[in-house]
Structure 1
């Protein structure tokens, strides 16, 4: 028998403005697949200020951005973690983009309600309003965050208003029949709680009609009191059926699957035959397998059988699987969807026939500067794709990078990847230490300092330095550091000494990306990537000299021929 799922009904109504555009945006999302069990349903409302020239864009972007990013968060993140991280990322983007807008800003109030199982999770910032109607009770669930300035009321603590965001969070039980009303600050001073209850209950079977009644009544009341009546919007969400109670959290259900036993070549698992053992470590097993039905070759990765009770590692294993399944980039290995039910905990990746960067460099000692910079550019693009999903790689080095027969760079090992968090990434640093530091790891991993995106930038630049020179940028390896004073012993060795093809500009960029002090590196990896693209183009142009330079013998032969012809003509004229 199928499990009973959460069921909702909703209605909406806008009052069409006489001029301009609405500054509000609303949406309800009820997934139809397993996402409903793991991430739940969402109902949102956003509202920007009436003086904002791009108010409609700000509201729409907030709602669409939240829905897109929230449902893309790792399956093992709980609801609060997922929503908070998405809102903080949206706030940072909106705040930074506002500085590039001449008129207006991407500032908006937002209330987002996530319903999953038998609980509701409300996230609120600014002055949008959410009420709950339960029986005879009509309760406001959000607080108004407003500031009076020059006789006008502006939302405070709104999304995009400041680099830091203070989010109200409310976790509450929900019941069948609960009605949630979403509206904006414009309705203040029009309808009373008794009006809401009366108008909604005229006919609760049609929520769109109920919202229309609210909008019409608010218009009439506003006109009577001399208010502007062209910016009202209402959204009603009703819980028609609660989800069936299930033990445990849905996001950890996959952890209930047993870990595969120790496998050898020729063994079969869920219709997959092991063709080769690629790796056995204390934490994982990696095999090249073949689907016995289709013949397709794949890579299977599973936790080590000895770690069946290590839940902390299993959570990290699920993050690795999420990276493969959700990060879509030509430079990150692709996940393979299972064609049959899985009886064990593992995930499948596309098999990439190729070699490591270490082997490639050994086989191509005469590769051009342009080729090497192109490899670095591809690798940086893969790292950027992970950073956009708030994931640190932490294990960038030549032995961990694959290059296929077409020269395509593919990242396929995520054993130390970690999501960015708010504790200075202390847990990320500890995970990287457990997996093992290497000669390309940033200095902060060996010291008790914060790590982050610029740590991946250091490892990327160190790998490129090695690819260009065959050496390391410092005489002392960062993983050998013991105290902060050891950083003073790290003196950069110019890449031009080992490779004169490296331009002074490229050398300076490497020096900056490899600075022992994390704060002094490029602020964003995109700056380094853009620079690499320009240097690669210059290298390609310099490696393709003009026809005149490539064929100087033919040039002089032509000049001599012309001179001979002129000499003969002068004799004839005589």
Structure 2
């Protein structure tokens, strides 16, 4: 029987008497079995230059940030995709923050090794050092990226050093008994390869003691050569057991969990009793359920039982749960943790007591423009929360928007949601074809053009237009387009022709957000939200009042001037 996961041991040692003064940071994380199977284990080391006033913060941030984000990536992403996206995001943040620091910055060398199954994935930036000891062979796996300036060596291609990132990536087959050493550039010139082998092999069963021997010997050699050794650190990771080789198949992508069967009210699954069938589509099933132990009411979403393991929607399914977990907003539905382990493939969301925006509009035909604008602003904040996480929703329309009993808007459906960087993903077009476009979809979807945040902006603006007017902005809906020449037939219908209460400024903002050409829409959604958030009628009314006030003032002073002129004429006549 194959072992479920590999087994690792590790040890660490710092030379510095006060850890808080160290400019290096390192860590090893071996998660629980399920996450270990999907993501593997991680060993990380970082180092910053001594002249950096934020060296300690930069080192700690890079290690903690990577470990937190890597293990939060979708389960169906492979190791390389997960790690490179996390490093790119972390680099962007570090680089942007460094622009606001006068002395120093969030710049650090970083080496990450992810152990999964029978392989190790090495991601390397800067000049930290990674070695492998296999038998008597001691080999450096990382490359030193350094720049010589005035006789001093500085790391190059480090994390946070530039807006773009150049990552060294290596895939390394591992064997049982392999030992990996992680250390920093400061150790250069102290120990020889034979010293490493001798000190590690002296008692390889105690890796902490081996690290202490390395640190002590390196510090002694540095002292003999007349330079300080207070910044040495060593981390050893040993492969104790490897899982047996096993073939990959599509089911492995989903942790081998089966798709739930068709369920009806009264039936139970994993301690969840089905209360109501909310939706049955070709791709999914959505149920209102009650936890029989906690009495909580939730929404269960599962793939359709008819889907094959190679279906694009099924591959995308786990991303939906990750989206809900990653986005923290009161206007985006929350994921719920089950009270017991799952035996089937599904995820749980909070149950929102309310109705869809479509149902709300039908029940409130006399709702004021201010009420409708308030709903539009809440929906805009939900879309913004997704965009801040580089996520596209792609299915913004009235039936995917819930309004609870207190009037709060909650965006609830993520069937087509995906990462903005994944726009060229081979399954995205197939996925969208399966789910289908709608009358609020941007024209570029029907025409097969590139999509982005402005595509969501269009769908949001179209939904707002419908909410304010009960109509659509174009006679020919964009999802009916057949070619680019059909774009010329899209003639915007002013929202004021259906609802005169809408200000000229708001109508112009909607017109721009609904431009058939994606490049001509607002660069940022916040520009459209600003127009929506202007107090109802204040700008237009203010201008009118100001004009009326100016006119009355002008007439008053004209009267005064005429009266004074009359007095002057009378004084002349009476002389």
Q: With the length of structure 2 as denominator, give the TM-score of the two structures.
A: 0.83
CA distance in structure 2 between the partners assigned to 1:221 and 1:66 by the alignment: 33
User: 2:89 maps to which residue?
Assistant: 89
Contact 2:312/2:427 (<8 A) preserved: no
- The answer on 1:102 being equivalent to 2:87 is no
User: 2:573 maps to which residue?
Assistant: none
- The answer on 1:402 being equivalent to 2:402 is yes
CA distance in structure 1 between the partners assigned to 2:191 and 2:527 by the alignment: 52
- The answer on 1:171 being equivalent to 2:171 is yes
Q: Find the residue that maps to 2:432 and give its secondary structure.
A: helix
User: 1:559 maps to which residue?
Assistant: none
CA distance in structure 2 between the partners assigned to 1:34 and 1:98 by the alignment: 37
For the structure 1 residues 488 and 7, does the alpha-carbon distance in structure 2 shift closer, same or farther, using more than 3 Å as the test?
same
CA distance in structure 1 between the partners assigned to 2:485 and 2:51 by the alignment: 53
User: 2:280 maps to which residue?
Assistant: 280
Q: Matches of residues 305-316 of structure 1 in structure 2 within 5 Å?
A: 305-316=305-316
Contact 1:356/1:402 (<8 A) preserved: yes
Q: Find the residue that maps to 1:260 and give its secondary structure.
A: coil
CA distance in structure 2 between the partners assigned to 1:540 and 1:218 by the alignment: 74
User: 1:382 maps to which residue?
Assistant: 382
**CA positional deviation for 1:19:** 12
User: 1:252 maps to which residue?
Assistant: 252
- The answer on 1:13 being equivalent to 2:10 is no
Contact 2:312/2:430 (<8 A) preserved: no
User: 2:131 maps to which residue?
Assistant: 131
User: 1:216 maps to which residue?
Assistant: 216
**CA positional deviation for 1:313:** 2.9
**CA positional deviation for 1:398:** 1.2
- The answer on 1:432 being equivalent to 2:435 is no
- Deviation larger for 503-512 or 112-121: 503-512
For the structure 1 residues 539 and 343, does the alpha-carbon distance in structure 2 shift closer, same or farther, using more than 3 Å as the test?
same
**CA positional deviation for 1:395:** 0.3
Q: Find the residue that maps to 2:61 and give its secondary structure.
A: helix
User: 1:22 maps to which residue?
Assistant: 22
**CA positional deviation for 1:380:** 3.2
**CA deviation digits over 1:259-303, x for unaligned, max 9?**
333344455545544443322222222233445566544333332
How many residues align structurally?
541
Q: Which runs of 5 or more structure 2 residues have no equivalent in the other structure?
A: 543-575
Contact 1:429/1:451 (<8 A) preserved: no
CA distance in structure 2 between the partners assigned to 1:51 and 1:450 by the alignment: 45
CA distance in structure 2 between the partners assigned to 1:192 and 1:246 by the alignment: 39
- The answer on 1:120 being equivalent to 2:120 is yes
Contact 2:46/2:110 (<8 A) preserved: yes
User: 2:556 maps to which residue?
Assistant: none
Contact 1:425/1:450 (<8 A) preserved: no
User: 2:471 maps to which residue?
Assistant: 471
User: 2:447 maps to which residue?
Assistant: 447
User: 2:65 maps to which residue?
Assistant: 65
Q: Find the residue that maps to 1:306 and give its secondary structure.
A: coil
**CA positional deviation for 1:537:** 7.2
For the structure 1 residues 3 and 198, does the alpha-carbon distance in structure 2 shift closer, same or farther, using more than 3 Å as the test?
closer
CA RMSD of aligned residues (A): 3.5
CA distance in structure 2 between the partners assigned to 1:492 and 1:430 by the alignment: 30
For the structure 1 residues 92 and 477, does the alpha-carbon distance in structure 2 shift closer, same or farther, using more than 3 Å as the test?
farther
Contact 1:77/1:251 (<8 A) preserved: no
User: 2:242 maps to which residue?
Assistant: 242
User: 2:334 maps to which residue?
Assistant: 334
**CA deviation digits over 1:418-459, x for unaligned, max 9?**
233455456434422331112221222122322123322332
CA distance in structure 1 between the partners assigned to 2:240 and 2:130 by the alignment: 19
Q: Find the residue that maps to 1:197 and give its secondary structure.
A: helix
Contact 1:112/1:122 (<8 A) preserved: yes
Q: Matches of residues 142-541 of structure 1 in structure 2 within 5 Å?
A: 142-227=142-227, 229-243=229-243, 248=248, 252=252, 254=254, 256-291=256-291, 296-340=296-340, 342-422=342-422, 424=424, 427-484=427-484, 486-487=486-487, 490=490, 492-495=492-495, 498-499=498-499, 501-503=501-503, 506-507=506-507, 509-525=509-525, 531=530, 536=533, 538-539=535-536
Contact 2:423/2:451 (<8 A) preserved: no
**CA deviation digits over 1:211-251, x for unaligned, max 9?**
23323333333344454544322222223333465554798
CA distance in structure 2 between the partners assigned to 1:70 and 1:284 by the alignment: 28
**CA deviation digits over 1:2-40, x for unaligned, max 9?**
956433332223343899943322111121352122211
**CA positional deviation for 1:371:** 3.5
Contact 2:331/2:411 (<8 A) preserved: yes
Contact 1:255/1:314 (<8 A) preserved: no
CA distance in structure 1 between the partners assigned to 2:504 and 2:102 by the alignment: 38
CA distance in structure 2 between the partners assigned to 1:395 and 1:232 by the alignment: 53
Q: Find the residue that maps to 2:68 and give its secondary structure.
A: helix
CA distance in structure 2 between the partners assigned to 1:456 and 1:437 by the alignment: 13
CA distance in structure 2 between the partners assigned to 1:425 and 1:472 by the alignment: 31
